[in-house]
Amino acid sequence: MRRISRGKFVVIVSFFLCLLAIEGWIYNNTDGQNLNIKYESFDVRNISTANVTKKFRGVGNGLSNIIKVEKTTYSFKAVVQDKEAKEEKKEEVVPVAPPVPFWHLPTEMGTISQNPHYSHMAFDITSPRGSNEVIYPVANGVITSIYNDAYGALIVTILHEVDGARYTSQYVHLSRYAEGLYVGKWVSYTDPIGWMGTSGYSTGVHLHIAVLDCALYDPNDANCANLNSFFAYGNKKALEGYWGLGSYVNVPVSWTSRS
Ligand SMILES: [Zn+2]
């Protein structure tokens, strides 16, 4: 009799253990299904930001019932490494994630036709669209000047503040300005500021773009208190190996950066 009771006891305990296991499995499974995340869209056309829409579907209240929608915009920031850090990492063979630029490219399409050097502190960018190529700010900022230089080039400069540091981007040779531009206007990186052109000292339609870590026309900024100091500072930085926009943006040979 004792042996039978023990046997029955074991069977009953096993049965309940089994029930607990099944309940646990159902609970975990249901919990997982309740947070069924569906990625509706992932916009990677813009290399600096990504929009992700998550839809949470409830299974308890009917299939494909959307109970929650979350929209998130991810902005990527540049990883700026100093020379020492780069040298240290030289020997390591570590797979690294692709660079995530903070700055936006100034055009939708383009090819670099000239890199910065000591007498040309800027990138020259051409486009298959020619003067139909819209020029955008490389980051949000405020317009600090709209002017023609001595050769008649149409120029815009924008002041940016990124992580507490100030930068000036300069866009040269535009064919025309966007409407409604004025000095002091806040612009987003999605606001057109003009169109590519060949105004001024230029042999073909292109954008000449310089980005310097100074605030143009700020009397408190000795580096770029005026246009002459802007160029002088740019050339000094170029001799030091500073490549303006290229220091921050991984600029491909050609690209489509904006939707
Ligand atoms: Zn140029």
**Does residue 215 contact residue 233 with C-beta atoms inside 8 Å?**
no
- Tallying the residues shown for the chain, one arrives at 259
Indicate whether 123 belongs to any domain.
yes
Give the domain range for residue 251. Answer: 105-256
**Per the domain annotation, does 177 fall within a domain?**
yes
234 inside domain = yes
Q: What parts of the chain have a pLDDT lower than 50?
A: 1, 24-53, 55-64, 74-83, 85, 97-101, 259
Q: Is residue 113 part of a domain?
A: yes
* Amino acid in position 92: E
* 203 C-alpha to ligand 1 centroid (Å): 10
The CATH number of residue 202's host domain is 2.70.70.10
Domain annotation covers residue 249: yes
Does residue 155 lie within any of the structural domains?
yes
Q: Residues 87-98: pLDDT tens digits?
A: 555 555 555 544
How many structural domains comprise the chain?
1
CA 215 / ligand 1 centre spacing (Å): 20
Question: Are residues 251 and 111 in contact, defined by beta-carbon separation less than 8 angstroms?
Answer: no
Q: 108-130, pLDDT tens digit by residue?
A: 988 888 888 778 888 899 999 99
Rounded to the nearest angstrom, the distance between the alpha carbon of 132 and the centre of ligand 1 is: 19
d(CA 93, CA 238): 30
Per the domain annotation, does 77 fall within a domain?
no
CA of 218 to the centre of ligand 1 (A): 24
Residue partners of 39: CB distance under 8 A and separation at least 6: 52, 53, 54
Alpha-carbon gap, residue 239 to 221, rounded angstroms: 20
Q: Enter the pTM of the model.
A: 0.61
Question: Does residue 43 lie within any of the structural domains?
Answer: no
